[in-house]
Amino acid sequence: MSKQSTKKPCDSMPVKLNADPTEEAFAKLAWAIAHPARVQIMRLLIGREACVCGEIVDCLPLAQSTVSQHLKILKESGLIQGEVDGPKICYCINPDKLEQLKTLVAGL
């Protein structure tokens, strides 16, 4: 099947994509998890309901400041949220945003 056969390959009318703001939101969410450390953090939080920053640092081979930066990125994307608990900060996932991401990807 090196040559295409049934599906008409190339020409139809030019579709003219409207600048859907969805694409930007989509790309932003995808970018939030487009780094191995952030994927790890997401999986860690999903598996544990909640976790203090210090423990996340212990689980990653990165400096505390770097982990804090990744947490900030994830928080800005809305995928996670942090709650102050005394001197510590408890991070947990935002189920709504996560569901939104899943829906967007599944809708591809």
50 binds a second copy (CB under 8 A): yes
4 binds a second copy (CB under 8 A): yes
Q: Look at residues 88, 96, 47 and name the one whose alpha carbon lies nearest to residue 68.
A: 88
Task: Give residues in contact with DNA (CB under 7 A).
Answer: 34-35, 37, 52-54, 57, 62-66, 68-73, 82, 84, 86-89
Count of residues that interact with a second copy, criterion CB under 8 A: 51
Q: Look at residues 22, 39, 24 and name the one whose alpha carbon lies nearest to residue 79.
A: 39
CB 10, min distance to DNA, A: 8
**E strand spans, 17-64:** 51-52
